[in-house]
Amino acid sequence: CGIHAREWISTAFCQWFVKEALSTYGSDSEMTGLLNQMDVYVLPVFNIDGYDFTHKSAKGGGSNCILGRSTGSSSNPCSDTFCGYSPESEIEVKNVADFIRRNKSSIKAYLTIHSYSQLLLFPYSYTFELAEHHSELMTVAEGASKALRSLYGTQYTSGPGAATIYPAAGGSDDWAYDLGVKYSYTFELRDTGRYGFLLPESQIKPTCEETMLAVKYITSHVQKNLY
């Protein structure tokens, strides 16, 4: 969470996930089963200096290196989509990428949380070519979106990134998938543009609650398909 500095709801959800994991373990069967069977690594604020900057700047801008693109858009250092000077040029990206590479044989899912647009995306974004596991990834995404919608009626669109929105190179879900992590998904949380990145406080809790249902749906499927 928090790869992109101005996507504040992303970091809020990851902190919510940790709170729910700790407070419902032992009473919620899904969460208990997940934590008993799998290790879950949560990175609440990936781009911590950028996150801090956006809270202190007047407009909440994100004009630093866009870490989600440092894994592989613009070469202009002043651009909001500056990809860095080379692949993995930023220490945050390098450290996370090294961790995933070291543990790729045991990592079964990779979820990256962003905002906004109400989308649940999966590979590929850098090409219109369908992923090898496209059918399964789509089925899981649609099921997760349905679970999310069941709470507040929030409508999500699911599909491969390139075909669902637009082609974009350097996404970490594409990178993780090509490394061998089959269940690689990108969430684009609320809303669809009325508030954009500046989601009002009143929508933080409902966004976290509904997103938790989608994440649980995905992890439940992963648990049943570990090998």
Q: What is the structure's pLDDT at 55?
A: 79
Q: What is the structure's pLDDT at 66?
A: 46
Decide: 222 and 109 in contact? Cβ < 8 Å: yes
Provide φ and ψ at 58, rounded to 5°.
Answer: -65, -35
Q: What is the structure's pLDDT at 86?
A: 72
Ordered structural domains, the chain, with CATH: 8-224 (3.40.630.10)
Decide: 124 and 161 in contact? Cβ < 8 Å: yes
> At 131, is the secondary structure helix, strand, or coil?
coil
Using alpha carbons, select from 100, 119, 111, 115 the residue that is nearest to residue 51: 115
Per-residue pLDDT reduced to its tens digit, 133-156: 999 999 999 999 999 999 999 999
Q: What is the structure's pLDDT at 88?
A: 81
31 token code pair: 């969460």
Higher pLDDT, 125 or 82: 125
Mean pLDDT (the chain, rounded): 90
Q: Which residues are catalytic?
A: 188
Instruction: Say which residue the tokens 């090898």 belong to.
Output: 132
Residue 112's beta-bridge partner residues? Answer: 186
Cα maximum dimension of the chain = 50
Q: In angstroms, rounded to a whole number, what is the distance separating the alpha carbons of residues 154 and 211?
A: 10
Per-residue pLDDT reduced to its tens digit, 30-72: 999 999 999 999 999 988 888 888 878 755 554 444 445 444 4
Q: What is the structure's pLDDT at 87?
A: 75
Q: What is the structure's pLDDT at 63?
A: 43
Query: What is the pTM for the complete model shown?
Result: 0.89
Q: What is the structure's pLDDT at 71?
A: 46
Mean per-residue pLDDT for 18-26? 97
Mean per-residue pLDDT for 88-109? 91
